[in-house]
Amino acid sequence: MPYFITEDGCRLFYETHGFEPAKPVVVFLNGTMQSTLYWKAQCVALNERFRIITYDGRAQGQSELGKTELSLERHEADLKGLLEHLSIEKAHLVGLSHGAKVALAYAAGKTERVDRLVLCSVSASMTCRAKLFVKSWLQILKHAGLETMLWASLPVVFGEGFLEKKERILSPIIKAAIKRNNKDALVAHLAALTDYPPLSQITGHFGVPTLVITGAQDPFVTEQGAEQLAFLCDGRHEHLNGVGHCIPSEAPELFNEILLEFLGGA
């Protein structure tokens, strides 16, 4: 399995798909509690037209927590190091939730290295409710454990339609999530997340074509906040009905269609 060693000695797991030199590059960035497995449907849909990179950010999946304190800047530096390791000069970035924050931070400081930017399930700033979700998960994780915390997160991160459709297999979904998450690493991740600056403070009219995608059933993100973020990025915003926070897994066909159209691969 391929690993990249960061400048401070942390091992990050990554995968590549369809790595033919002539094709443009797309990097998928995980949300909290996710791993490279999350992007399977996107890898299948985009594999013929793009070189694809998926990776577990530090403290996620098969990557290590490392010894350096977690921060948005640390994750941004890890992405920079990975792309340099793979000799990628420019790429499309597609991030979900936490991954979207990392993608935006990277793009804001390195506009010349980003083709297009897709920010899924984020807004210009976190609402009070969103901050309380993160803080409550952190307390549940510390005092009741990983499995309890994952069950508590289900009705928050998924929309009603997805939960109804998957109701009979929610237990296997939780078991799979337990396998790809480490309690100590997730505690560190959530604790760091509470100190991230609002995205409105790190973005601006930086000239990278940007698409912000949100779900109407997402309690983390308001439509107004997502529209504000799109405005600050000189981008456009698509608000999808019937889905929650995890849009790529809840509506993969629609998400892939929107993605291919925006990236110019349709």
pLDDT tens for 104-118 read 999 998 999 999 999
pLDDT of 228 higher than 60: yes
Amino acid identity of 187? V
Q: What is the C-alpha to C-alpha distance for residues 212 and 16, in angstroms, rounded to an integer?
A: 25
Dihedral of CA 85/200/116/220: which sign?
A: positive
Looking at per-residue pLDDT, the higher value among 226 and 264 belongs to 226
At 266, is the pLDDT very low, low, confident or very high (cuts 50, 70, 90)? very low
Question: Is the pLDDT reported for residue 82 higher than 50?
Answer: yes
CB proximity list for 21: less than 8 A, separation 6 or greater: none
Rounded Cα gap, residues 176 and 232, in angstroms: 37
Residue 1's pLDDT band (cuts 50, 70, 90): low
Length of the chain as a residue count: 266
Q: Which domains does the chain have, with CATH numbers?
A: 3-126+197-263 (3.40.50.1820)
pLDDT band at 206 (very low <50, low <70, confident <90, very high): confident
Section 56-82 average pLDDT: 97
Confidence at residue 20, expressed as pLDDT on a 0 to 100 scale: 86
* Amino acid (1-letter code) at residue 232: L
Say what the pLDDT of residue 154 is.
97
226 Cα distance to chain centroid = 15
Q: What is the pTM of this model?
A: 0.96
Token couple for 139: 């307390």
Q: What is the mean pLDDT of residues 237-251?
A: 97
**Two tokens, residue 44:** 């299948």
- Contacting residues for 209 by C-beta, under 8 A, at least 6 apart: 115, 116, 117, 235, 262
Residue of 15, 23, 88, 16 whose CA lies nearest to 49 = 23
155-182: average pLDDT: 96
End-to-end alpha carbon distance in the chain: 31
d(CA 232, CA 229): 5
204-214 mean pLDDT? 92
pLDDT at 21: 86
CB 263 within 8 Å of CB 239: no
Question: CA triplet 104, 129, 123: central angle to 5 degrees?
Answer: 20
